[in-house]
């Protein structure tokens, strides 16, 4: 198991050092600094073995978090834990920075004592932790016996992510379907790979211990119903605006927050859960079939002699004309020996950024089924470098108000039998946002 | 005693000090004094601030142990925050102040009875972290209560505490019956208690391989599967990792477990997913392949594995290393998922390199066009390592998918045209392999290759090019000129190139004998007379003799048809792969090494295996294919001493006290019997043994092997030689072991230097236990008592495994024999000479220091016999710089007697061959720290001088090992 956990600043000074196991000595702290942080060559793996001691590290801005062990630990678990540790710290004091860590070091030690025991991760749900570890120190002494046992049963219990007795005057929930669409396209316009990785983020402000059921246009479920296999879900309170688009989508794979009953999903493919209070990520999914690619990039690069490049890039928007894409940015890489650039674009603004070796073309808004174009002349300095310019791909950023995967939320039903509010009383909001992930076209 | 021991290592322990400006704006001397005053202040706030400052100093590595009593005084408080801080301090310093730590016991015991369950748990959690024997005793009662506490939070904390206690004092845990209580917790109503109990039991079970502690049976499995649905994500990981160790009784049970585990594949936590994959991969072996469910399961595995690739880069890396294993074991799972492994421009380099590996493994006729287009794209990227790997990958595709070979070759030629130096070199290396795979097909490109002769500056590329020129000498008009140009700087070339050049010129000579006689003469004399590299010299002599005795035979040998090279490269050896599949998700699967290669001590030494169902008809390699030895061979993660990592070894990552269990008491009575055997058998064996084998026997095969390029050595070299050795040079298993050579006792500490105490002694290794045997002689006038012994840090971590047992005082003129068992898990520091040991002995009079040298054979393990294949591979793998040669003079044993004698000291003879009256013994030994030493001992009949060549990844040990040979052989 994890033998110790260290946090360093960018200079390699330790800010936090907590040792859980006897086989980890103080020297491990130095070994990591010398061999990883101060290494002459950048370390090429997030796992490093130094003198039979293994170091796992992640970096958040310029802060290094390192977990140390001498055993054959579950490596995936260690990284998941380090990420979780970052989440917990962020939830407590915001951005992970040297300043914040120093100002909260007592709190961090307290958290580390709680969420890692003898190197075994324990309950790390911020919701639960906040009931008894607070920035002002522990609440301990002021609690009644009932409160205490409620805390402990929550921390160890089946529903570790939600406490009892939550009350809201207005029961409300927000669902965000956030997708990032990824594309790699060849210069000839052939899709080399494309996928959507989506997340359903939920903000719930619901009283009591509500039982929720979430439904979407999952192909497997829809097909089943079409055959009349199950008649269970007839609640057609269509939450997704407009019924246009595809009827159902094929989900390659999905993962769920730990509140979702996985065995139920496995057997019935229904998504039921008691949600945590506040914001959390209900599910993640991935689709690869029938993706709507919101933009198409058509590059044309011509080398004119040894000292000049001509670049022409056309972008086409490919969605309903009534919708508007926002924050569009096209990034056209330029060679390192660029001496000057002249650009002309039909829409938006374009600028050559020498420090980033790229022409950045920005368009605030663009409706569907439109087309725009940029052309640039790039002057090059003559070099005797034999190596050809690698021509990095042209990348794009944008935001569109629909889900490129075609996913639609069909319903989210809330049941709370003990309190007197019903599914109809809950105010529900759904929003779809599609963003570019890694959206690249080779040129 | 304890204090005194601390003194010995003190200067190391707190050697590193750092400053942190925020907490330490001043580093003036009075600081500790000021803190002391603040800690004793009446004001709670001031106290708390002071403790915070102390903790801050502790964090940055400052020694604040002087404040121990003052900090502990703050422990008696109602303020939980303050209490936690004090506990944190205690955990760090209790070990260095054991007597004062006792002061804290009362508070702990009291807190364990507190009404607040959070405080009860905090107390028992902290107490388990304080590794002081005296405190441990007090821990038992509170722990027993907490294990049965009404509150689940306390129980789950207590469960982990049992593992902590076991780490400190295993015996105590067993005696107190905590293990049974822990087992009961598996049936607890609270899922988190179950999960922690499983984690604790699994850890304890690892150090008792055969204890059947976890006692997994269908009932407990059922309980675990139930808890799996309810506990935290971490708990699910503990349970799944534990489940993976279970062997289901039949395929029905196997299937039902799989069915209950598959839902975990949709968990958001990647570690849960990977652990579930591990269970499924393992239990799948039990399922008959014709079962419908088997196919369903295979299909269910792919999507979650692909999803792992959208995790954060570090997790992607772990996932990719595991997918690499999974793809080797069950290629069908991901065969349609090639695209997801395409490299993204912004992937971190470690992700890129791993993806590339998997792409090659998945390459097939169906997707080769796409793969090639991608690889060509990668070959123009920035990162040199990545580009090289991409170019190599193109070559591997050509070899793997025959239909694509032509396209690959033309792609490679395109790349050569870019004239980027390292791309060209890499391309030439792979083209050589393509030539070997498809002879007489692509030789038209040779002309293009020859244009780039000048730009090759890396040995591997030069060697490859030379091989090509030699192999196709008849088609290259100016082959002689080309080779001659290399010959000019012959001595500056690396061995690889020299060997290749020698072979190539001999080939050329055999093809065009008339014009190249001079050239071949020149290279043979360069190789045999002017070189001190034995490999080169040997090869030179072999060619010379072949050419001079029978040129026709030479032609048959050198120009023999070469065996085909295999399609798949870099495959993990099957038994190791099976073991690694059982470790999916763990570090072992990231390193692709068995846990024993990087975990110290007893943990993880058990080798896990897949169990397959009898009916499945799947062939599982028999365990004795030499693979076991591969997995134990010195892995690359063990830093060889002398390089940067080696220096870090001296950093001592292990704290000074050894926690390893003392080795079993050595059977002291065997000594006499063993000695008798040793003396008697010596001459007996000598008479009986005849020199085995005749001349170089398998020479045609060997010649072919030599003719092959070094890059292909494992394929072509191994097979013929080992075949030959099996028949001709087998030792016939002369399994008589001789007694270990025990050096006579020498005086280590003269009475003059130690106020009348004289110590003489020696070292023995008996059935795996190292002992230091001493005679303590009291030459003083007064009685001596209270003996204790301590070692300084030394090269191999030798340390007393227990206290020095001298029960009665030694009266004047009395001498006493004492045997001290030693362990090798102590702190390590390189000594000069390597086998030097500095010892401190204390008695009621004073402390005395002396140093002695132990024979390095004390450290040779009983399992130091390497498999032949591994030996050959390792010998070749260790660079020639690491080889050292020694002469042993005036030794009159014949080779078999020598071999037997050496075996007594755990130096094992692996093979023997006889060439012209000279016996060559190939021997191996393994040191306690996992370093292997390989030896070639040459014994010439009638010549009392032996020659010995030693090869080792840590060449520093060679001198020591040689001395040991000398002493063992001469006594």
Say whether A358 sits in a helix, a strand or coil: strand
| ∠ Cα A83 A87 A93 (to 5°) | 140
- CA dist A91 → A8, A128, A138, A279 (Å): 20, 12, 17, 11
Q: Where are the domains of chain A?
A: 4-132, 172-225+247-291+404-441, 295-400
Check CB contact under 8 Å for B268 and A34.
Answer: no
Nearest to A71 among B116, B604, B654 (CB): B604
| Neighbouring C-alpha atoms within 13 Å toward the C-beta of B592 | 18
Local confidence band at B531 (pLDDT 50, 70, 90 cut-offs): confident
Report yes or no on B877 lying in a domain. Answer: yes
Q: Does A102 touch chain B (CB under 8 A)?
A: yes
Least confident of B179-188, B601-610, B897-906: B601-610
Residues 223-242 on B with a CB inside 8 Å of A are 229-234, 237-238, 241
- Residues B137, B131: Cα–Cα separation, whole Å: 11
Number of CB atoms found within 10 A of residue A309's CB? 19
- Residues B118, B140: Cα–Cα separation, whole Å: 19
The more confident residue out of B601 and B779 is B779
Check CB contact under 8 Å for B232 and A123.
Answer: yes
The more confident residue out of B942 and B938 is B938
Q: Which residue of B has its CA nearest to A156?
A: B192
So what's the pLDDT on residue B118? 86
Q: Does B59 touch chain A (CB under 8 A)?
A: yes
Res B146 pLDDT > 90 = yes
* Best residue of B95, B353, B651, B660 to probe chain A, by most A CBs closer than 10 Å: B651
Number of CB atoms found within 10 A of residue B365's CB? 11
So what's the pLDDT on residue B784? 85
So what's the pLDDT on residue A48? 93
Least confident of A134-148, B27-41, B873-887: A134-148
What is the radius of gyration, based on Cα positions, of chain B? 33
DSSP B660-720: SPPPPPP-TTHHHHHHHHHHHHHHHHHHHPPPP--SS-SHHHHHHHHHS-GGGHHHHTHHH
Query: What tens digit of pLDDT does each residue of B536-557 get?
Result: 999 999 998 888 888 888 888 8
* Residue bearing tokens 């096209």: A330
Give every strand in the sheet of A172-185, ordered side by side.
A253-256, A278-287, A191-205, A172-185, A427-441, A394-400, A324-333, A358-367, A349-353
| Neighbouring C-alpha atoms within 13 Å toward the C-beta of B469 | 31
Nearest to B585 among A52, A54, A75 (CB): A75
User: For the residues B490-504, what does the mean pLDDT come to?
Assistant: 90
Instruction: Tell me the angle at which helices B80-93 and B44-59 cross, rounded to the nearest 10 degrees.
Output: 30
Check CB contact under 8 Å for A31 and B589.
Answer: no
So what's the pLDDT on residue B14? 34
Token pair for B681? 């058998």
Token pair for A256? 């769920």
Query: What tens digit of pLDDT does each residue of B848-868 get?
Result: 888 888 888 888 888 888 888
So what's the pLDDT on residue B46? 84
Do strands A133-134 and B836-842 pair parallel, antiparallel, or not at all (unpaired)?
unpaired
Local confidence band at A372 (pLDDT 50, 70, 90 cut-offs): very high
Q: How far is A170 from chain B (nearest CA, A)?
A: 30
Which of B559, B579, B604 is at the close of a domain? Answer: B559
- Residues B740, B743: Cα–Cα separation, whole Å: 10
Report yes or no on B87 lying in a domain. Answer: no
Query: What tens digit of pLDDT does each residue of A220-262 get?
Result: 888 877 665 444 444 444 443 333 445 789 999 999 998 999 9
So what's the pLDDT on residue B356? 94
CB A31 within 8 A of CB B648: yes
% of chain B at pLDDT higher than 90 = 23
Least confident of B17-31, B482-496, B845-859: B17-31
This complex has an ipTM of 0.79
Check CB contact under 8 Å for B271 and A252.
Answer: no
The per-type count for chain A, helices as H runs and strands as E runs, is: 8, 25
Which of B512, B528, B559 is at the close of a domain? Answer: B559
CB A17 within 8 A of CB A4: yes
The more confident residue out of B844 and B538 is B538
Res B297 pLDDT > 90 = yes
Res B742 pLDDT > 90 = no
So what's the pLDDT on residue B611? 67
User: For the residues B199-209, what does the mean pLDDT come to?
Assistant: 87
Q: Does A143 touch chain B (CB under 8 A)?
A: yes
Mean pLDDT of chain B: 79
Contacts of A440 in chain B (CB under 8 A): 344-345
Of B163, B159, B158, B164, nearest in space to B132 by CA:
B164
- Residues B315, B270: Cα–Cα separation, whole Å: 8
Least confident of A30-39, A132-141, A419-428, B641-650: B641-650
Same topology, domains A172-225+247-291+404-441 and A295-400? Answer is yes
Please indicate if the annotation marks A364 as binding a ligand.
yes
Mean pLDDT of chain A: 87
Local confidence band at B214 (pLDDT 50, 70, 90 cut-offs): confident
- In this structure, the answer to whether residues B751 and B850 fall within a common structural domain is yes
Of B239, B257, B259, B236, nearest in space to B248 by CA:
B257
So what's the pLDDT on residue B834? 83
So what's the pLDDT on residue A315? 94
So what's the pLDDT on residue B885? 84
Res B353 pLDDT > 90 = yes
Check CB contact under 8 Å for B55 and A109.
Answer: yes
Q: Does A141 touch chain B (CB under 8 A)?
A: yes
Total tally of structural domains belonging to chain B:
4
Local confidence band at A385 (pLDDT 50, 70, 90 cut-offs): low
For B967, which DSSP code? H
Q: How far is B266 from chain A (nearest CA, A)?
A: 4
Nearest to B80 among A27, A58, A141 (CB): A141
Q: How many CB pairs under 8 A join A and B?
A: 330
Contacts of A30 in chain B (CB under 8 A): 16, 651
- CA dist B938 → A274, B229, B661, B887 (Å): 76, 65, 41, 10
* Residue bearing tokens 């961090």: A108
Q: Does A135 touch chain B (CB under 8 A)?
A: no
Please indicate if the annotation marks A353 as binding a ligand.
yes
Report yes or no on B825 lying in a domain. Answer: yes
Token pair for B802? 């227990």
- CA dist A177 → A430, B93, B346 (Å): 8, 51, 25
Check CB contact under 8 Å for A145 and B115.
Answer: yes
Residues 168-207 on A with a CB inside 8 Å of B are 184, 186, 192-193, 195, 197
What is the radius of gyration, based on Cα positions, of chain A? 26
DSSP A243-268: --S-S-B--SEEEE-TTB-HHHHHHH
Q: Which residue of A has its CA nearest to B605?
A: A72
CB B432 within 8 A of CB B468: yes
Res A17 pLDDT > 80 = yes
CB A29 within 8 A of CB A14: yes
Check CB contact under 8 Å for A44 and B312.
Answer: no
Contacts of A250 in chain B (CB under 8 A): none
**Which residues are CB-contacts of A355 (< 8 A; sequence separation ≥ 6)?**
none
Q: Does A339 touch chain B (CB under 8 A)?
A: no
- In this structure, the answer to whether residues B788 and B847 fall within a common structural domain is yes
- In this structure, the answer to whether residues B418 and B467 fall within a common structural domain is no
CB A282 within 8 A of CB A257: yes
- In this structure, the answer to whether residues B864 and B965 fall within a common structural domain is yes
**Which residues are CB-contacts of B754 (< 8 A; sequence separation ≥ 6)?**
B841, B846, B848, B850
User: For the residues B688-708, what does the mean pLDDT come to?
Assistant: 36
Nearest to A25 among B151, B590, B653 (CB): B653
Report yes or no on B911 lying in a domain. Answer: yes
Query: What tens digit of pLDDT does each residue of B75-93 get?
Result: 877 777 788 888 888 888 8
CB B766 within 8 A of CB B822: no
Contacts of B269 in chain A (CB under 8 A): 80, 258
DSSP B777-814: EE-SSS-B---EEEE--BTT--EESS-----SPBPTT-
Looking up residue B769, the CATH number of its domain turns out to be 2.60.40.1150
Nearest to B268 among A76, A257, A286 (CB): A257
Query: What tens digit of pLDDT does each residue of A51-102 get?
Result: 889 999 999 989 999 999 999 999 999 999 999 999 999 988 889 999 899 8
Say whether B323 sits in a helix, a strand or coil: helix
For the A4-132 domain, the top CATH level (class) is: alpha beta
**Which residues are CB-contacts of B818 (< 8 A; sequence separation ≥ 6)?**
B773, B774, B775, B776, B787, B804, B805, B806
So what's the pLDDT on residue A344? 93
Report yes or no on B893 lying in a domain. Answer: yes
Contacts of B266 in chain A (CB under 8 A): 253-256, 262, 265-266
Token pair for A369? 């089924």
Question: Which domain, by its residues, includes B436?
Answer: 363-449
Res B257 pLDDT > 90 = yes
% of chain A at pLDDT higher than 70 = 91
B943: preceding bond cis by omega (within 30 degrees): no
Contacts of B237 in chain A (CB under 8 A): 74, 77
Residues β-bridged to residue B347: none
Report yes or no on B403 lying in a domain. Answer: yes
Q: How far is A381 from chain B (nearest CA, A)?
A: 20
Looking up residue B891, the CATH number of its domain turns out to be 3.30.310.10
Please indicate if the annotation marks A351 as binding a ligand.
yes
Check CB contact under 8 Å for A79 and B315.
Answer: yes
Of A257, A217, A274, nearest in space to A240 by CA:
A217
Which of B559, B580, B598 is at the close of a domain? Answer: B559
- In this structure, the answer to whether residues B873 and B941 fall within a common structural domain is yes
Res B625 pLDDT > 60 = no
Please indicate if the annotation marks A84 as binding a ligand.
no
- Residues B720, B698: Cα–Cα separation, whole Å: 8
Give burial (CB, 10 Å; 0-12/13-18/19+) of A58: buried
Local confidence band at B713 (pLDDT 50, 70, 90 cut-offs): very low
Of A312, A347, A352, nearest in space to A334 by CA:
A352
Predicted TM-score (pTM) of the model is 0.68
Can you give the length of chain B in residues?
971
Token pair for B523? 């290279």
Q: How far is B324 from chain A (nearest CA, A)?
A: 15
Number of CB atoms found within 10 A of residue B377's CB? 20
Check CB contact under 8 Å for B269 and A132.
Answer: no
- CA dist B352 → B86, B308, B383, B544, B615 (Å): 47, 15, 10, 48, 40
Instruction: Tell me the angle at which helices B117-129 and B152-168 cross, rounded to the nearest 10 degrees.
Output: 10
Report yes or no on B17 lying in a domain. Answer: no
* Best residue of A1, A56, A78, A118 to probe chain B, by most B CBs closer than 10 Å: A118
Q: Which residue of B has its CA nearest to A137?
A: B81
Of A402, A394, A395, nearest in space to A325 by CA:
A402
Helix ranges (H only) for B148-265 are 152-168, 170-175, 178-185, 191-207, 218-228, 233-243, 251-261
- CA dist B808 → B333, B369, B804 (Å): 70, 83, 12
User: For the residues B26-37, what does the mean pLDDT come to?
Assistant: 70
CB A75 within 8 A of CB B587: yes
Check CB contact under 8 Å for B595 and A74.
Answer: no
- In this structure, the answer to whether residues B790 and B808 fall within a common structural domain is yes
* Residue bearing tokens 């010129």: B505
Local confidence band at A286 (pLDDT 50, 70, 90 cut-offs): very high
Nearest to B648 among A50, A71, A143 (CB): A50
Domain A295-400: give its CATH superfamily.
Mu homology domain, subdomain B (2.60.40.1170)
Res A298 pLDDT > 50 = yes
Query: What tens digit of pLDDT does each residue of B385-433 get?
Result: 999 999 999 999 998 888 889 999 999 998 888 888 889 999 999 998 8
Say whether B312 sits in a helix, a strand or coil: coil
- In this structure, the answer to whether residues B767 and B850 fall within a common structural domain is yes
Check CB contact under 8 Å for B13 and A79.
Answer: no
Helix (H) or strand (E) holding B326: helix B313-329
- Residues A383, A381: Cα–Cα separation, whole Å: 6
Res A397 pLDDT > 80 = yes
- In this structure, the answer to whether residues B894 and B942 fall within a common structural domain is yes
Check CB contact under 8 Å for B639 and A51.
Answer: yes
CB B360 within 8 A of CB B392: no
Taking every pair of Cα atoms in chain B, the longest distance, rounded to a whole number of angstroms, is 104
Please indicate if the annotation marks A312 as binding a ligand.
no
Tell me, which fold does domain A172-225+247-291+404-441 have in CATH? Immunoglobulin-like (2.60.40)
- In this structure, the answer to whether residues B841 and B867 fall within a common structural domain is no
Q: Does B829 touch chain A (CB under 8 A)?
A: no
**Which residues are CB-contacts of B506 (< 8 A; sequence separation ≥ 6)?**
B470, B520, B523, B543, B547, B554, B558
């Amino acid at each position: 198991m994890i033998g110790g956990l260290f946090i360093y600043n960018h200079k390699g000074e330790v800010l936090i050092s907590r040792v859980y196991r006897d086989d980890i000595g103080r020297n491990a702290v130095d070994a990591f600094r010398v061999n990883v942080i101060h290494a002459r060559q950048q370390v090429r793996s997030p796992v490093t073995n130094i003198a039979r001691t293994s170091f796992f590290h992640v970096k958040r801005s310029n802060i290094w978090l390192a977990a140390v062990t001498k055993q054959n630990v579950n490596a995936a678990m260690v990284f998941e834990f380090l990420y979780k540790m970052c989440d917990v710290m962020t939830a407590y004091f915001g951005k992970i920075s040297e300043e914040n860590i120093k100002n909260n070091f007592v709190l961090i030690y307290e958290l580390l004592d709680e969420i890692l025991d003898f190197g075994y991760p324990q309950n790390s749900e911020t919701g639960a932790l906040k009931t008894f570890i607070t920035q002002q120190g522990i609440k301990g002494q002021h609690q009644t016996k009932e409160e205490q046992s409620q805390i402990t049963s929550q921390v160890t219990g089946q529903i570790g992510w939600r406490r009892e007795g939550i009350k809201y005057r207005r029961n409300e929930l927000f669902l965000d379907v956030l997708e990032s669409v990824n594309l790699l396209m060849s210069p000839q316009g052939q899709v080399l790979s494309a996928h959507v990785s989506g997340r359903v983020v939920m903000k719930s402000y619901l009283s009591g211990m509500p039982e929720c059921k979430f439904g979407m246009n999952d192909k497997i479920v829809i097909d089943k119903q079409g055959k009349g296999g199950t008649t269970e879900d007839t609640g057609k309170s269509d939450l997704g605006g407009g019924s246009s688009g595809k009827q159902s989508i094929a989900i390659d794979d999905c993962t769920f927050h730990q509140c979702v009953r996985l065995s139920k999903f496995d057997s019935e493919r229904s998504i039921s859960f008691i949600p945590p209070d506040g914001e959390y990520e209900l599910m993640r999914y991935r689709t690869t079939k029938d993706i709507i690619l919101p933009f198409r990039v058509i590059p044309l690069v011509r080398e004119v002699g040894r000292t000049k490049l001509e670049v022409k890039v056309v972008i086409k928007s490919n969605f309903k004309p009534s919708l508007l894409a926002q924050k569009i940015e096209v990034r056209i890489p330029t060679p390192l020996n660029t001496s000057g650039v002249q650009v002309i674009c039909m829409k938006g603004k374009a600028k050559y950024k020498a420090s980033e070796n790229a022409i950045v073309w920005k368009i605030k808004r663009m409706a569907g089924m439109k087309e725009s174009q940029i052309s640039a002349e790039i002057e090059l300095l003559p070099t005797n470098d034999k190596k050809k310019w690698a021509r990095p791909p042209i990348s794009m950023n944008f935001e569109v108000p629909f889900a490129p995967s075609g996913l639609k939320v069909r319903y989210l039903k809330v049941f709370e039998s003990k309190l007197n509010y019903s599914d109809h009383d809950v105010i529900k909001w759904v929003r779809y946002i599609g963003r570019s992930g890694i959206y690249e076209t080779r040129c | 005693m304890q204090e005194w021991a601390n003194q010995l290592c003190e200067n190391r322990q707190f050697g590193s000090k750092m400053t942190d400006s925020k907490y330490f704006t001043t580093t003036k001397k009075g600081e500790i004094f000021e803190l002391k005053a603040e800690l004793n202040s009446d004001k709670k706030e001031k106290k708390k601030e002071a403790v915070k400052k102390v903790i801050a100093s502790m964090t940055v590595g400052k020694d604040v142990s002087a404040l121990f009593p003052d900090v502990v005084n703050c422990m008696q408080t109602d303020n939980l925050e303050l209490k936690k801080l004090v506990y944190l301090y205690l955990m760090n310093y209790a070990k260095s102040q054991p007597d004062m730590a006792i002061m804290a016991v009362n508070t702990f015991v009291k807190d364990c009875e507190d009404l607040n369950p959070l405080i009860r748990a905090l107390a028992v959690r902290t107490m388990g972290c304080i590794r002081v024997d005296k405190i441990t005793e007090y821990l038992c009662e509170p722990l027993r209560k907490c294990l049965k506490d009404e509150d689940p939070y306390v129980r789950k904390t207590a469960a982990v505490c049992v593992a902590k206690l076991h780490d400190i004092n295993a015996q105590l845990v067993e005696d107190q019956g905590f293990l049974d209580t822990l087992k009961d917790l598996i049936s607890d109503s609270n899922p988190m208690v179950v999960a922690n109990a499983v984690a604790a039991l699994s850890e304890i079970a690892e150090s008792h391989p055969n204890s059947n502690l976890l006692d997994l049976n269908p009932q407990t499995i059922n309980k675990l599967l139930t808890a799996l649905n309810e506990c935290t994500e971490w708990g699910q990981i503990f349970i799944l990792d534990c489940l993976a160790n279970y062997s289901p009784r039949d395929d029905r049970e196997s299937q039902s477990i799989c069915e209950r585990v598959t839902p975990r594949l949709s968990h958001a936590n990647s570690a849960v997913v990977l652990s579930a994959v591990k269970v499924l991969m393992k239990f799948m072996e039990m399922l008959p392949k014709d079962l419908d469910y088997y196919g369903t399961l295979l299909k269910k595995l792919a999507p979650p594995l692909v999803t792992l690739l959208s995790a954060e880069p570090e997790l992607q890396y772990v996932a990719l290393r595991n997918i690499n294993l999974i793809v080797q074991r069950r290629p069908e799972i991901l065969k349609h998922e090639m695209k997801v492994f395409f490299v993204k421009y912004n992937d971190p380099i470690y992700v890129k390199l791993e993806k590339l590996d998997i792409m090659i493994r998945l390459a097939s006729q169906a997707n080769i066009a796409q793969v090639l287009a991608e690889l060509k794209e990668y070959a123009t990227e920035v990162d040199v390592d990545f580009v090289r790997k991409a170019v190599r990958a193109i070559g591997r595709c050509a070899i793997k998918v025959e239909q694509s070979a032509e396209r690959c070759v033309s792609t490679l030629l395109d790349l050569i045209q870019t004239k980027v130096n390292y791309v060209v070199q890499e391309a030439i290396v792979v083209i050589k392999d393509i030539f070997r795979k498809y002879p007489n097909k692509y030789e038209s490109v040779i002309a293009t290759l020859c244009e780039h002769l000048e730009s090759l500056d890396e040995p591997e590329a030069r060697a490859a090019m030379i091989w090509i020129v030699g192999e196709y000498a008849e088609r290259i008009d100016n082959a002689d000129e080309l080779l001659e140009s290399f010959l000019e700087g012959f001595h500056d070339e690396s061995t690889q190139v020299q060997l290749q050049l020698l072979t190539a010129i001999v080939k050329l000579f055999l093809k065009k004998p008339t014009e190249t006689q001079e050239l071949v003469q020149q290279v043979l004399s360069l190789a045999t007379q002017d070189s001190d590299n034995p490999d080169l010299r040997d090869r030179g002599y072999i060619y010379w003799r072949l050419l001079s005795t029978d040129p026709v035979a030479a032609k048959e040998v050198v120009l023999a048809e070469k065996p085909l090279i295999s399609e798949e490269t870099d495959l993990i050896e099957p038994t190791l792969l099976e073991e690694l599949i059982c470790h999916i998700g763990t570090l072992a699967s990231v390193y692709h090494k068995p846990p024993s290669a990087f975990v110290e001590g007893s943990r993880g030494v058990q080798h896990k295996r897949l169990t397959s169902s009898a009916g499945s008809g799947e062939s599982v390699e028999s365990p004795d294919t030499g693979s076991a030895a591969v997995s134990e061979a010195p892995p690359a993660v063990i830093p060889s001493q002398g390089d940067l990592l080696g220096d870090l070894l001296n950093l001592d990552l292990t704290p000074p006290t050894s926690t390893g269990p003392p080795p079993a008491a050595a059977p002291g009575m065997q000594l006499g019997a063993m000695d008798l055997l040793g003396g008697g058998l010596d001459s007996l064996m000598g008479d009986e043994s005849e020199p085995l084998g005749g001349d170089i026997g398998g020479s045609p095969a060997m010649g072919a092997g030599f003719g092959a390029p070094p890059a292909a050595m494992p394929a072509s070299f191994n097979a013929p030689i080992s075949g030959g050795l099996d028949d001709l040079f087998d030792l016939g298993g002369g399994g008589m072991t001789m007694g270990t050579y025990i050096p006579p006792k020498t005086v280590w500490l003269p009475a003059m230097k130690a106020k009348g105490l004289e110590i003489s002694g020696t070292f023995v290794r008996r059935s795996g236990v190292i002992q230091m045997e001493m005679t303590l002689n009291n030459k003083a006038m007064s009685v001596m008592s209270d003996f204790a012994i301590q070692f300084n840090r030394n090269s191999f971590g030798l340390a007393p495994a227990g206290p020095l047992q001298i029960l009665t005082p030694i009266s004047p003129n009395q001498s006493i024999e004492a045997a001290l068992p030693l362990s090798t898990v102590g702190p390590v520091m390189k000594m000069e000479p390597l086998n030097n040991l500095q010892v401190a002995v204390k008695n009621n009079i004073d402390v005395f220091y002396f140093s002695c040298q132990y024979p390095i054979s004390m450290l040779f393990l009983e399992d130091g016999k390497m498999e032949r294949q591994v030996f050959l591979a390792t010998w070749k793998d260790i660079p020639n710089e690491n080889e050292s040669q020694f002469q042993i003079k005036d030794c009159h044993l014949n080779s078999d007697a020598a071999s037997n004698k050496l075996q007594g000291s755990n130096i094992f003879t692996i093979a023997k061959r006889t060439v012209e009256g000279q016996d060559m013994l190939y021997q191996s030994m393994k040191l306690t720290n996992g370093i292997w030493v390989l030896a070639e001992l040459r014994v010439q009949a009638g010549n009392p001088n032996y020659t010995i060549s030693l090869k080792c990844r840590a060449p520093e040990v060679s001198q020591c090992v040689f001395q040991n040979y000398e002493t063992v052989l001469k006594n």
